Copies of this chain bind each other. A is one copy, B any other.
Amino acid sequence: MKTPEPIKRFADIFSELPGVGPRQALRIALYAVHKGRSFIDLIAAAAVGLKQVKVCRRCFNLYENDGDFCEICSSSSRDAGIIAVVEKETDLLSIEKTGKFNGRYLVFGDMRRVGVLTSEQKIKLKSLEEDISNSASRKAKEIILALNPNPVGDVISSLVAEELRPFAEKITRLGRGIPSGGEIEFADEETLGEAISRRY
């Protein structure tokens, strides 16, 4: 007696998904079989639905509408002169949720540990530079490097800043310090140090 082939196939492909191991993939397969055919159809339909998702040609964010650009890039109420460079779509969504940002984005893609730009990231930067050069002002008002405040993010941020310097009046990074609701006592030295030097 071996695991039925369809369950094995399902477990194989699902264990490729981020954070899903082979055992969990098997558990998911058995769960889905027990839930029955209509649940299986829901899973398949949800997967197929992802094919409707497009990548914005301007900011490389994911979107669904009919246009060539995502909602943010095609919105007239957003300030196209302020651009936040984010690593991932989830970072973009987190920033959107704050309601404190009314510019647009560049979804930059996963940062390599070694602190070099991937060829894809270089293409994205060139594309942004071209986009800015073709704008009326020829320079962005501000480019915010909204990359994670860790050593890799620092290295990448300085590479990107160097590259984009001629295209922006101002290049900034997100504020650093003690998180709201956090306690000084439990802040690590690095964080507390940043909080002191960036006091306001």
Q: Taking A27-B18, A27-B19, A44-B44 as contacts, is the C-beta distance between A50 and B32 under 8 angstroms?
A: yes
Within A46-101, the residues touching B (CB, 8 Å) are 46-53, 61-64, 70-72, 88-90, 92-93, 96
Partner of A24, one of B18, B53, B62, B70: B18
Specify which chain B residues have a CB less than 8 angstroms from the CB of A53 in the assembled complex. Answer: 4, 6-7, 33
A44 to B92, CA, bound (A): 28
The answer on a CB contact under 8 Å between A64 and B6 is yes
Specify which chain B residues have a CB less than 8 angstroms from the CB of A50 in the assembled complex. Answer: 6-7, 10, 29, 32-33, 40
Interface string of A14-46 (1 = CB under 8 A from B): 100111100010111111110001001111111
A contact face: mostly helix, strand, loop, or mixed: helix
The answer on a CB contact under 8 Å between A43 and B28 is no
Interface string of A146-164 (1 = CB under 8 A from B): 0000000000000000000
Q: Taking A10-B50, A46-B10, A47-B43 as contacts, is the C-beta distance between A30 and B88 under 8 angstroms?
A: yes
Partner of A5, one of B2, B64, B90: B64
Interface residue count on the A side (C-beta < 8 Å): 53
Specify which chain B residues have a CB less than 8 angstroms from the CB of A12 in the assembled complex. Answer: 46
Shortest A12–chain B CB gap in Å is 8
Partner of A31, one of B2, B3, B13, B17: B17
